[in-house]
Amino acid sequence: MQHRPLGRTGVSVSKLCLGAMMFGDWGTKDHDESIKIIHRALDAGINFVDTADVYSAGESEEIVGKALAGRRDDIILATKAHMPMGEDANHRGNSRRWIIREVEDSLRRLGTDWIDLYQIHRWDPAVDLDETLGALTDLVRAGKVRYIGHSTFPASTIVEAQWTAERRGRERFVTEQPPYSILVRNIENEVLPVCQRYGMGVIPWGPLAGGWLSGRYSKGGDRTGPASAARQRLVNRFDLSLPENQRKLEAVEQLGQLADEAGITLIQLAIAFVLRHPAVTAPIIGPRTMDHLESQLTAADVVLSDDVLDRIDEIVPPGITLNPSENGWISPSLQPAARRR
């Protein structure tokens, strides 16, 4: 599998990143089967694995750690912190207190001495960015973390974080992990151009839009909701009675026809679309089964022509997300409390 530079870090990563969200209680509960899937991905040339502390309450990290035993030195390993890891109000977030504690827990679960890419899972406007960057900088200097990144940050905060790092002499974020697919294109407006401007790597999650671009959902189908426990938390993205999801069904039908005409699968079309954007480093694929993995690996060799890309733009225009709730980050300034006197 071909490799690409991870921003300006000098690190080379495979053009597909293996996401581990579906390994554990949220997806594949059998640890041995999950490890087989991970090993197959590594044997296929993937050297980039992404997980998070919150995935199945740490179980995903434990599975990844077992799978990488004996192969750790050859893998670029990424994980994340921010999401709640318990009922305690301080067992979450972007504070120094939590980051310093949680990185130790992730290292233990992963069975490693260092994390290649440690990412802040979401921005919290209530926490000073310098507080977060200060903690992350200390972890880099302690050798526990090699690089730092973030996920689903708005463009303005990406810029602010770069400026804060420069002004305060902190380590800078070198990657962004945003939602991106044919159906979720909002980041084309600002996030992707900003990442290019700062030389950041981009590791998009959800290239199959939560299964919408895998053929799972279709007009006339009998599926009424998400299959996995992880996706049941995002029911508004899968409720087929919503008009925005009906628009997605229409788009998926047209995209399926386009894939047939191009002689490829809808899965290949979807992943190859994300791969083709010049700002993108490596889309994250998140298989739950071996069949899922095999169907997604083949997309690495597909290159979409300009004609096919133009047809995609006609179906879902650039910069448009058909269901805005899938943009990942919604400004708190749009909440009622922020708009009322």
Task: Specify the residue for token string 């799972």.
Answer: 216
Radius of gyration of the chain (CA): 19
319 closest CA partner among 202, 143, 228, 183: 183
Q: What token pair was written down for 76?
A: 């670029």
The whole-angstrom separation of Cα 71 and Cα 12 is 17
Among 55, 118, 147, 180, which one carries the catalytic annotation? 55
Q: Determine the distance from the C-alpha atom of residue 269 to the mean position of all C-alpha atoms in its chain, rounded to a whole number.
A: 18
Catalytic site residue 55? yes
Q: List, by residue number, the catalytic residues.
A: 55
